Amino acid sequence: MRLPLYLCAVLVSGFGTTAMWLVSGIWVKSLTGSDSLAALTAFALWAPALLGPVLGGLVDRVPRRPLLVTVNLAMAAVLPLLLWVDRADRVWLLFLVLFVYGTQGALVEAAEAALAAGALDPERLGSFNGLRLTVNEAVKLVAPLVAAGLFARYGGGPVALLDAATFALAAGVFALLRVREARIPAAEERGRVADGVRPLRESPVLRALVGAGGFTMFLAGLNGAAIYTVVDRGLGHSPAYAGVLYAVQGAGSVAAGLVAGPLLRRVPERVLAAAGLALFALGAAARALPYDGVALAASGVVGVGLPWVLIAAMTAVQRGVPPEVVGRAAGTANTLVFVPNAVALAVGAGLVAVVDVRVLLPVVGVAGLAGAAALAFAPGARGTLVPRERASVS
């Protein structure tokens, strides 16, 4: 697989996706004036993550590259419908499209993981996942500015058209991609959706890493819910200052993705994940301190630590699962890792109203350090992926 060409597709589609995700809440707020409806846009985008195992089952039944082309073309066709959303009583269409958008995202995540697992040598998967995350995070440093400018001047329609164009371009790039895919099992060999769960449950290493990913994202949700309170009450800045902290965090994530591959060639996934969780915990706890310099440094540390956990978990799934169930396993892993984040965002929104962030964030830090220690030293998690789990992957 030509990695630069693939990363080009990730870059193009990621730009439009970041723009649309940012604008959707602003769009609903501007049409309805409702904060609660605006917040529901995030739920509409996250809810399809619950379908991860089912969508992964679809991935295991069809060739992955044509699936990626088709899904991107479908989104390019759907997004222009949002031009019709120009008043409050049409917001339902935006929510419907956002749910489709989230479904597409969950499907593409599983398809890309399965495509890479079958096309790349296991030793290159860490670099692949790191570079993919780097591209996505780099896009997040630019796309929000473009999206905000477009929306402020022209409204949401042009942003939807921009996103549609990026999906069409990504489909074209995927169509140019030449990759030798693993054989698609015959109908009688495919098994059930639950077959993708079995490798995650039976392997102590995969179980520990995916569990650590979900635990980390739950803590990240609590940390994210507290960010505006930190900016306002802790640092004394306007809410816009959160954008500065997110930019620093994004820069840290770009750096983390670049070094993740080389690190995974030297240390097991468990070690990288434990180090990442520990860094995240320290950064989250430090945000309780009311100093700008500390807050900026903490954001950078969080930006480095969080991706390492996710990269380690997904790389282990790709390396340690038989090719015929990679789609289902990746879809299930994504559900187990990312749904806790959505839950924690909701829980955290309530907690910050009753718990001082100077208490909440250190608690998050202590929990994260305890989780990192458990991952690093738990006997079961210190095993290795057994050779039979990769025996049929070339």
184 token code pair: 């698609």
Question: 28 near 34, Cβ under 8 Å?
Answer: yes
Question: 59 near 107, Cβ under 8 Å?
Answer: yes
As a whole number, mean pLDDT of residues 180-193 equals 54
**Considering only 132-136, 207-211, 220-224, 390-394, which range has the smallest mean pLDDT?**
390-394
pLDDT tens digits, residue range 239-277? 768 778 888 998 999 999 999 999 999 999 999 999 999
Q: Which CATH class is domain 195-383?
A: mainly alpha
Give the DSSP letter string of 78-145: HGGGGGG--SGGGHHHHHHHHHHHHHHHHHHHHHHHHHHHHHS-GGGHHHHHHHHHHHHHHHHTTHHH
pTM, two decimals, is 0.82
61 has pLDDT over 90: no
CA distance 359 to 234: 12
181 token code pair: 């895919």
Return the domain boundaries, the chain. 3-179, 195-383
> What confidence score (pLDDT) does residue 55 get?
87
Q: Who wins on pLDDT, 119 or 281? A: 281
> What confidence score (pLDDT) does residue 387 get?
38
182 has pLDDT over 90: no
To which residue do tokens 């630069």 refer?
A: 4
To the question of domain 3-179 being in CATH 1.20.1250.20, the answer is yes
Mean pLDDT (the chain, rounded): 86
Question: 314 near 117, Cβ under 8 Å?
Answer: no
CA distance 297 to 311: 22
Tell me if 3-179 shares its fold with 195-383. Answer: yes
> What confidence score (pLDDT) does residue 177 get?
82
